[in-house]
A and B are shown apart, each in its own frame.
Chain A
Amino acid sequence: MTTTRAEIGGSGGDSSPPSPYSLAHLRHVPRRHTHRWIAAALILLAFGWVVHAFATGQIEWEIVAQFFTARAILLGLVNTVVMTVLAMLLGIVLGVVFAIMFMSPNPVLKWVAWVYIWFFRGTPLMLQLLLWFNLALVFPTIGIPGLFEARTVMVITPFMATLLGLGINQGAYTAEVVRGGILSVDIGQTEAAKAIGMGRLTTLRRIVLPQAMRVIIPPIGNEVISMVKLTSVASVIQFSEILRNAQTIYYANARVIELLIVAAGWYLIVVTLLSIGQYFLELHFAKGAAPTGVRVRAAAARERSI
C-alpha cells in the first residue's frame, strides 16, 4: 500500500506540483449532523414540558409513592405476574402440541388442531373469559364419572377461569408462531435426522425445535409482554390483578390518576425485567447460528465461561 501511494504521490520529486492522487496533505472533516442536533433539542424541550406539566399538575406524587407499595397493589402485582407466567406456560405447551398436531401426517390430528386454532383465534378473548367463568351454566358439575365430581362453580374460580381463558387463547396464537419456527428450519436437518434413524417426534424435540427456538423466541417474547397487560382484561371476571385493584382503590379515594400512574409504573417495571430475560434467552438459543450480533456476544460469553 505505502509503496503504491509513494509512487503515485511523490514520483515527480520536489520540484513538480503534487499529483492530484496524492493523499499526504488531505484530512478528514467529520459531518456536522446539524439536523440531528436541532431535532434532539426540540424533542428534549417537548419532553421537559411534559415532565414540568406532570410535576406541577394536579397530581399528588406523595399519594403515588404511598400507594406504590400498598398491600392491595402488591397483591395485584403478584396475581398479574403469576397469571402471566402460568397462562404463558399453558399457552406455550398447547402451542407446541397443536403446532405439531397441525403438521402431523395424521389427518385427524391436523383437523383437530385446525379447529382449535380457528375457534380460539376467531373469538374475542373477553368473550372466552366470560364463557369459562360461566361454565357452570352449561355443566353444573364436572369430573370423571366414578373417580371424582365437583360443582363447577367451586372449580372455576376467577383464577381458574382466567388461566384457562388466557392460556388456551394464547395457545392458538403460539401454535402459529411455533409452526412458523418449525417451517423456518431447513428440510435437510429433518432428512439428516431421519438418516441416522430418528423418529418424527425425536427429530422435532432434538433437532428441529431447538433450532426453531431462535425464530420462535422474539415473537413469544412479544406475546409474554402482551400477556402481562392482557391479564387486565380478566378484571371483567373479578380476577384481582393490578389494574383491577388500582381501580378498586380509586373508587374509594378518587385518586384516579395517581393510582393509574402506580399501575403503569409496575407494568413498565415488569415488562422491562421480562425484556432483559428475553435478551439472555435469545443469547442462549443463538448457539451455532450465523454470526450476527447476538451470535458474536454468545461466542464471547462462551469464551469467558471457559
Chain B
Amino acid sequence: MLDQAKEQIASHLGVRVEQIYPVSNLQTGYALGVQGLMGLDSTLFYSAVDRSEIYALAKENRSERIPVSLAGIVDYPQGEPKDVLSWQWVNGETGVLAGNPGNFQGKTFVDATAVSTLRQLPENWSTALWDSITWQGPASLAIFALKDSSIWTNPLPHTSPGLEELSFSVPLTVASAIALEAHQSDYTAAENLMRSKNEGIRKFLAAEIGDVDIAGNLDSTLPHLLSFSILYADAKIVQDELEAAGFAVDSGSACGSANMEPSHVLAAMGLLTHGNVRMTIRLEHTDQILDNFLSHLKRIVDELRR
C-alpha cells in the first residue's frame, strides 16, 4: 500500500519513486534538502523572498542573499560546482513563479512547498521538497526528493548512511497520495477558470478600489493565489470586517500580525507592506461569492479612506 502511494506521488510530482522520501515535518525536509548538499567550503545562495526556514539555514552556513525585483524576478548567480542554490519555485505568499535557475553551476535545492500542480522540475535539480497541505493533503507530511545520492550527505543524526531511518506516517502518506491525485485532476480542469476569476479580481481592484499594489501579474503567478496591498488601509481592520461578512483572508502586514513585523516577502519585493490581503481562489468560489466579497471589500476600504 505504501509502495503504491509512493508510486502515485512520484508520478504526480514528476520524479522517480526511488527518489522520494516522505518526512514528518517541513523542517526536517529543509535540513535534508539544503544542509545535505552543503560542503565545508560551499556558499548557499538564496533569495530575499525565501521562507524563514531557509533564512535560518543561511545563518548557519556561509551564504549570500540575492535581491528580488518588484516583479519577483531573481537574478541567479552562476556560482561554482561546490555551491548550493535554494530555488523557490513558487512564492507561497504572493503566488509569483520564479524564473528558471538557468546557468547555476552548483547544486540546486528546489523549494516546491507552494507547488501543487504537475510541473516539470528544472533539469539541474539536486534535491526538492513539497508540502502535502498544498494539495489539500494531510499536514505533518512533506515529500523530500533526492536526485542522486552521490552529491549528498545525510545531515541528520543517523546510524546508517541512507534515509531508511526517516520517520513518517504510512496512513498520512496514503491519504496524501489520494489527495494529490484528486487535486491535480481538479486543478488542471479548473486552471483556466481560476485564471479568469483572478483576472476579474485584479481588474476590480484597479478600477473600483484604486491605489492597490498587486503582487506579480496574471502570467507570472499561480492562478489560485492573489496577494494585494491596499494603500491607507489597516489590514487588521480589513481582515476583521471581511471575517464579520463571512470571508477568511490572510495578511502579510505588520498591523495584521502578532509580531508587528511586516512580511519579509512584501518588503523584499518593494511592495506595500500595509493593507495586505492574501486570498486563495477555490473552485467552489462562484462569481456570485466573489462579487459579494469584492463589494464588501470596497465598502470597507471606502469607509477606512473616508
Report whether chain A binds chain B.
no
Q: B residues within 8 Å of A by Cβ?
A: none
